[in-house]
Amino acid sequence: MPLRSYRPLLAFVLFFWSITTGFAQAVFQSTQPAPTTNKWQNSLWEAKWLVHPTASARAYGVYHFRKTINVAQKPARFVVHVSADNRYRLFVNGQAVAMGPARSDTQHWNYETVDLAPFMQAGNNTLAAQVWHLGESAPMAQMSYQLGFVMQGDGDAEKVVNTNNTWKVCQNPAYSPVKNDMARLHTYVVVGDGDRVDGALYPWGWEQPGFDDKAWTAARPLWFLAKTRGLGSDGNWALVPRSIPPMASATVRLNTVRRVAGVTVPPDFVQGKSPIIVPANTQATVLFDQKTLTNAYPELTVSAGKGASLTLTYAEGLMDAKGQKGNRDEIENRTMLGIDDQFVADGGQKRTFRPLWFRTYRYLQLSVQTKDEPLTINDLTGKYTAYPFEQKARFSSPDSSLRRVWDVGWRTAQLCAGETYYDCPYYEQLQYTGDTRIQALISLYVSGDDRLMRKAILDYDDSRIAEGLTQSRYPSADQQVIPTFSLFWVCMVHDYWMHRKDDAFINARLAGIESVLRWHEERIDRTTGLNGALTWWNFVDWSWPWNPTDGIGGVPDGSHGGGSSILSLQQAYTYQKAADVFAHYGQNQKAEHYRELARRINKAVMERCWVSARGLLADTPTKRQFSQHANIFGILTNAIPATQQRDVLKKVLTSTPSDSLRPATYYFKFYLFQALKKTGMGDEFLPQLQPWHTMIANGLTTFAEAPEPTRSDCHAWSASPVYEFLSTVCGINPAEPGFRSVRIEPFLGSLPSADGTMPHPNGDISVHFEKAPGGLLRGTVTLPPGLTGTLRWQGRSKALVAGRQEVSL
């Protein structure tokens, strides 16, 4: 990003949102944006992709493109379509107006449609874009063809901006990468390198209209025209319109100073009221605490101090002598180990350093080494960034601790959502299907916004390998395949089908669903009826430790050689859900085929893995290993007879280490919660939240990837209680595909009452329930227009109609 303060204009954000995402709110319909109607969606563009004339288009580099145009009067409309590889930030007359493109792959490369008119004036107008291609320093989630920048004017008035050799370009020599890799951080981290900027080499003011660009060279157009997907003969960038809104942006200030060495920090520096003065030839360190984890573009503004070196280090928590974080509030006898950025001051006034990509941090450490003159640190702040989910749902109860779980869980979900869903924002920023299924349900229930879910479903469908499986994470420059996650992709399509009426979209996924199911069906052992030998990484849960011999972890017994009851039952679980979808769309023969496969697998698992003496399913036919996972799937698939499911689930809930029943970690407890709901044992959900209360007591402000010691402090698969407060405690669930009707079955557990509201495509569903003497349930239910349903409570039921109604059961 350019090294200047960025103050996004609310008016532009709202305008940009409206022009790119048209929010559909028809009854029962998806909220995906209506297609942008412009001729460039289905034709070759007149604009060409631009590169630097001499620099390598595939090596690390940061570039600036400029063009000044003249208009007779301020336009009422001036629409352009813009994209770049890797990314761009667009300015008009010095104002930042857009960032992109939304992450994707080269065969579905996003472009943004932006109206520049609000930022233009009569006469000369300067368009400027910062474009970067990070080469080997790019994040794993960044796919790429090569450096490129393109802009296409929408109509005759705008075609003056079309990218060609009238645009100028320079390579910014100030940038170089800061290694933030596994070797330095001692863990799996793939978010890309940090930025080092030498202020003495930076072309300050390059984006402003008055900047002298006479020394800049003409940009070189590539030989081919830009084109939308499906056109042309070459496979470089296949352009598609952006389908999600621009990211949210807001200023976030550091909360407090926790540790200082070598300098005096004014008490009101964190409020931006007084500067820090670092004397000449001084080494100083300041540790700031945000108090909660955040995603933000840090903005460090300094003056004077020529040659001073400043390092920003970001971390979720500080490390003790054992390399563990412990209580996240504690800093004594702990050290900072994290991702770094660096800036070298050039001695100028009010120089603002901002990294190219956002950083995730609770703790931010500023380390300074001045040279022969003092340095003034004017300010250090951040611009929060995330997908613009709006919290429309609410949940409340007399137990205030549940509110804390809600707040921390929702923050976790927000920080794990940007242009794609992220497994974790600090270490990977990769969109994994196992995580995404849970994240998407949280999105639907809390915000009602399904656009990122829809995009994720498409991303995975686009990731498909020749064998028919989807990749486990996508977009990703490094291919990874987890067959169990391909199954969860099918389940994710089923989830979308249940919550939104979007028949054309679901129909277009059926062939991909079949290819995933076919891969698994071909690997069923004909002798045992269980899974046979499986390739790739068959991850289930981190409760199985890392296996250095195989170079993988989280894999149960019976994966490679065959015979895993867990993997077999997950197939059955997915066949059942796929069968319902196929039947709904009239493909009854396929539906019955998959139902029969599920029945056969269930029967084989019970015959070969059920241990009567323990009343539990074993993980394999050897009957030596047991897990909660096998028994949870046994319940969800009905492999375990309904009359026995509650007894099995009670054993799962009360198991101890001496029972040798491998426990589900935070991720897989989502499926435990589904089993509780299915068996009518939803009252046991709230007692299962103790690990979440423990995380909060341990100073976490988001929920972690796994039990301590954990790598990631923010992992959205651990935010599932937010969904369960509405789906289990308040009991709100779709009763029919497309959420055409609702089934409400609350499980209040020990709570005397609970209130909840969740968004439905027709409007809000709201409930208030309280327990009354004699096991009665009383309260109110409000359904939006056109929605009916059923309320269930301890075996009794009541029909629900649209509007507000008193209930008593």
607-643: per-residue pLDDT in tens?
Answer: 999 999 999 999 999 999 999 999 999 999 999 999 9
Per-residue pLDDT, 234: 78
393-409: per-residue pLDDT in tens?
Answer: 999 999 999 999 999 99
Residue 20 has pLDDT above 50, yes or no: no
In DSSP notation, 354-421 reads: --SS-EEEEEEEEEEE--SS-EEEEEEEEEEEE-------EEE-S-HHHHHHHHHHHHHHHHTBSSSB
Per-residue pLDDT, 3: 42
Pairing of the two strands 175-178 and 194-198: antiparallel
Question: What is the SS3 assignment for 328?
Answer: coil
pTM for this predicted structure: 0.94
Q: What is the pLDDT confidence band of residue 36, given thresholds at 50, 70 and 90?
A: low
Question: In whole angstroms, what separates CA 163 from the centre of its chain?
Answer: 32
Q: What angle do CA 244, 247, 250 make, to 5 degrees?
A: 155
Per-residue pLDDT, 7: 34
Domain range annotation of the chain = 10-173+201-245, 249-386, 402-729, 730-809
Q: What is the pLDDT confidence band of residue 233, given thresholds at 50, 70 and 90?
A: confident
366-384: per-residue pLDDT in tens?
Answer: 999 999 999 999 999 999 9
730-809 CATH fold? Maltose phosphorylase, domain 3 (2.60.420)
Per-residue pLDDT, 37: 64
538-547: per-residue pLDDT in tens?
Answer: 999 999 998 8
Residue 353 has pLDDT above 60, yes or no: yes
Residue 526 has pLDDT above 70, yes or no: yes
141-190: per-residue pLDDT in tens?
Answer: 999 999 999 999 999 999 999 999 999 999 999 999 999 988 889 899 99
What are the residues facing 742 on neighbouring strands? 734, 789
CA distances from 806 to 285, 535, 620, 768, 809 (A): 61, 55, 51, 10, 10
In 3D space, the residue among 189, 665, 698 whose CA is nearest the CA of residue 408 turns out to be 698
Q: Is residue 742 within 8 Å of 802, Cβ to Cβ?
A: no
Output the average pLDDT for the chain: 94
Per-residue pLDDT, 505: 98
Please check whether the two domains, 10-173+201-245 and 249-386, share a CATH topology: yes
Pairing of the two strands 238-241 and 220-228: parallel
Residue 706 has pLDDT above 80, yes or no: yes
CATH architecture of residue range(s) 249-386: Sandwich (2.60)
CATH class of the domain at 10-173+201-245: mainly beta
Residue 559: what are its φ and ψ, rounded to 5°?
-80, -65
Q: What is the pLDDT confidence band of residue 659, given thresholds at 50, 70 and 90?
A: confident
89-120: per-residue pLDDT in tens?
Answer: 999 999 999 999 999 999 999 999 999 999 99
CATH number belonging to domain 402-729: 1.50.10.10
453-497: per-residue pLDDT in tens?
Answer: 999 999 999 999 999 999 999 999 999 999 999 999 999 999 999
Per-residue pLDDT, 24: 29
